[in-house]
Structure 1
Amino acid sequence: MSITKTAGKELQRRNIRNEIIRRGENGESFLLYMETVFEFHYKKTYVRTWWDEQLAQALMDVFHGVIDRLVVSMPPRHGKTERVVRMFGSYIQGLRSSLKIQYGTYSGTLSVLTAVDTKDIMESEIYREIFPEVAFNPKLNLKEHWKLTAGGEFLATSVGGSNTGIGADIFFGDDLLKAADADSKARRDEAYNFYNSSVLTRLEGLKAVILIMQRLHEDDPAGRVIKLGGLAEHGGLWHELRYPIINEKREVYKYRNTQVIREPFTPLDPVRYGLDFIEQQKKEMSKVEFKRQYMQDAEVSEAGHFKREDFVYVSDADLPEMYRYILVDPAESEEASADDRGIPVVGKWTDASEIVKTVVLDGKYGKWDVYGTAEQIISLMLKYPDAPVLIEGAGGGLSLVKVLRREMLVYNAKAQAQGKPQVSNGITVFKPDNQSSKNEGIKLMTAPMEHHTLVFYKFMDTAFMEQMEKEFLKFNPERKSNTDNIIDPISKSYILPQCTAKKNLPLKPEQVQRRKKKGKNGGWSKI
């Protein structure tokens, strides 16, 4: 093949590539742009990670006006500034050179350096090849503040800096809080006040905000805006992509109608920061800092409403006869995708004191779709054949009931053929309580926990027990959204009229003697 034909084919390939990039249709267009800049400007090969496509699509959704609030949290040195500011910022000003961007971080120096890098990309040969019509306005062409001839603008500022009188279609907030200042309320307030007074009042056009950061505190800028505005999945403002450096269990990362599955122990960036690096960081950092900065878990482990000392665990010898219930809080939507779910088994009774006592006997916790949930319920039905199943009729509850009844028929047919026990537990669908919030229901368990009339069976499923304890200890009634996949259905045993207690059962002589010796609070033994 002649040199002329080879050059012609290469030119054709580049023209096709550039045309796809210029269309800017979706996340794939952006990733192609990023790979091209890496190849021809950085002289490096861009290696995609397992989450790149999801992040790229979310960013392009901001550009296209599909969403206008996005939080991206990931560990240090994992390329969040590179992807979101240098690459995405330069890309969208090429797609729409009238776009106005403001970029802020906790440090004025860092803001300027990132702006210089972004401008360097836009002045590169490959950028001019892709976007030949983009030109800088000579009247304002500074390293931290420039305008384009088509009206676009880029301003780099910082917390405490000035952006008076300058509007923005999109604001990039990149680590508005310094890690060393995370525990300072004054610094957290300063960062949020900058966002609230200097950013929100300057938005125009797209009126979009993208916050990228490592989580540092539950009240850091990302935590505070989510607390006030809520998450989109719960009807709020903010879409959140949270990527910890490692995972111990199989996890599903959802964004709008897409999801990414992450198998256990998959590093966020396996090429640059593998398992050896992660283990080294664990050894050298404090547990709190590693949890915050690398695992993106800024929540306090104990909020103080439910106290660790009020957990009382009991054994079979401590339990009388009781009525038992399997409580199911279905997924909030009718989608078939897997979701976090908890299915507790609760027992209730009264003794001569006429005080209702409750024990959490067992349960299941995990990520299941509707069929997986039905399978878990059936396993509990077999274990507790006298326990009716109570399912809330909200969200995907009715769909779950249909699937559960069908799966029971399938199971019973197989059990009959094999001579095994069949499931015959009753199923009741209860109406959701639209008058009270979940938090109000969960708070009903406060007094029973303190007085030890709500206790826990020490031999329940281990994974369920661990998650249940975490949810109780983290619960904060002042937060709009708590992790309550287990404790919310447990609280239904204090609300539903169907959850009655077995009454006035006489205690066995040996139980009476044991409780007299143990004394206060009904004699429950703490473990």
Structure 2
Amino acid sequence: MKRSVGDMVAEIYRKDFNAFTHRSILELNPHAEFHYNWHHEFIANSLLEVYLGLCPRLILNVPPRHLKSFAASVAFPAWVLGHRPWAQLLSVTYGQELSDALARNSRRLMTSPFYQSLFDTRLARGREAVFDFETTQGGVRLSTSVGGTLTGRGADIIIIDDALKADDALSDVRRTAVNDWYDNTLRSRLNNQEAGSIVIVQQRLHADDLVAHVQEREDRWRVLSFPAIAEEDD
């Protein structure tokens, strides 16, 4: 039987995370003007390798307002749960308000007609809270803030999106608190320390921020860095 154009387009969105991200932006922001740039493809491909298990430790250093949070904290959890409705994801930011905003958009995407036409994944009734929603197959997207309680909770993928506010970057106390919480609490929440994945998304804020801290302690981090102003021709 000949496949329809609609079926072929849907297959592209299911398989191509970059295409899925672009379409998701339009789904949640129908009146916004979207300007595609080559860096979106690099971010999408890096996150795809996290999903495939080819990149267990990923750092995305991108300036503000370049859709890094949308790709990593909104579209990516939804896409992962579309393919693996049993997956457990943990999303962390510097504040619960920001964490909830990202989770709310991810939940809106997953309950949209567009998403539900692509995937069989559905949210479980009674487990639809913004900060902790669950699929009918036991998958979870849990959102918290740095310093939050995670007792008894685990994750296959941890996404840390802006662990430190820019205003706190010069505070030794705040930087140390973030780094210590990562070492003593967050990292241990991986269900599998070897196979589990961690993604850090942020602009660089200090020579001793979380990005520098984790690279000193583990050598398998892959860094995708896009400076706001190029320091040399590339």
What's the TM-score bracket when you normalise by the shorter of the two chains?
over 0.9
Output aligned runs, 1:431-510, within 5 Å. none
* Distance in 1, Cα, partners of 2:50 & 2:146: 23
Corresponding residue for residue 106 of structure 1? 94
1:158 aligns with 2:158: no
Contact 1:71–1:222 (8 Å) recurs in 2? yes
Corresponding residue for residue 198 of structure 2? 209
Tell me the alpha carbon deviations over residues 299-346 of structure 1, each in whole angstroms, 9 at most, x when there is no partner.
xxxxxxxxxxxxxxxxxxxxxxxxxxxxxxxxxxxxxxxxxxxxxxxx
- The 1:180–1:40 alpha-carbon spacing in structure 2 relative to 1, beyond 3 Å, is closer
Corresponding residue for residue 212 of structure 2? 223
Contact 2:175–2:208 (8 Å) recurs in 1? yes
1:36 to 4, 14, 23: 23
- The 1:40–1:175 alpha-carbon spacing in structure 2 relative to 1, beyond 3 Å, is closer
Corresponding residue for residue 223 of structure 2? 240
Tell me the alpha carbon deviations over residues 157-179 of structure 1, each in whole angstroms, 9 at most, x when there is no partner.
00111121111011110111111
* Distance in 2, Cα, partners of 1:100 & 1:175: 20
Corresponding residue for residue 122 of structure 1? 110
TM-score after normalising by structure 1 = 0.42
* Distance in 2, Cα, partners of 1:140 & 1:40: 23
The answer for unaligned runs of 5 or more in structure 1 is 1-8, 230-235, 252-527
Cα shift at 1:153: 0.2
Tell me the alpha carbon deviations over residues 124-147 of structure 1, each in whole angstroms, 9 at most, x when there is no partner.
11111111x111112422111011
Cα shift at 1:111: 0.7
TM-score after normalising by structure 2 = 0.92
* Distance in 2, Cα, partners of 1:184 & 1:39: 38
Output aligned runs, 1:208-357, within 5 Å. 208-229=197-218, 236-251=219-234
1:47 aligns with 2:35: yes
The one-letter code of the counterpart of 2:178 is: A
* Distance in 1, Cα, partners of 2:93 & 2:26: 28
Contact 1:41–1:126 (8 Å) recurs in 2? no
Answer with 38-47 or 53-62: which moved more. Answer: 38-47
Corresponding residue for residue 62 of structure 1? 50
Alignment partner of 1:109: what SS?
helix
Contact 1:38–1:45 (8 Å) recurs in 2? no
Tell me the alpha carbon deviations over residues 458-486 of structure 1, each in whole angstroms, 9 at most, x when there is no partner.
xxxxxxxxxxxxxxxxxxxxxxxxxxxxx
Tell me the alpha carbon deviations over residues 6-43 of structure 1, each in whole angstroms, 9 at most, x when there is no partner.
xxx9x922211112332x3xxxx011112222334422
The one-letter code of the counterpart of 2:134 is: K
Tell me the alpha carbon deviations over residues 370-399 of structure 1, each in whole angstroms, 9 at most, x when there is no partner.
xxxxxxxxxxxxxxxxxxxxxxxxxxxxxx
Alignment partner of 1:155: what SS?
strand
- The 1:125–1:171 alpha-carbon spacing in structure 2 relative to 1, beyond 3 Å, is same
- The 1:46–1:17 alpha-carbon spacing in structure 2 relative to 1, beyond 3 Å, is farther
Contact 1:168–1:203 (8 Å) recurs in 2? yes
1:179 aligns with 2:171: no
Alignment partner of 1:168: what SS?
coil
Contact 2:100–2:131 (8 Å) recurs in 1? yes
Corresponding residue for residue 460 of structure 1? none
Alignment partner of 2:230: what SS?
coil
User: Number of residues paired by the alignment?
Assistant: 230
The one-letter code of the counterpart of 1:227 is: E
Corresponding residue for residue 17 of structure 1? 9
1:87 aligns with 2:75: yes
RMSD between aligned alpha carbons?
Answer: 1.7
The answer for unaligned runs of 5 or more in structure 2 is none
* Distance in 1, Cα, partners of 2:29 & 2:114: 10
Q: Which has the larger radius of gyration?
A: 1
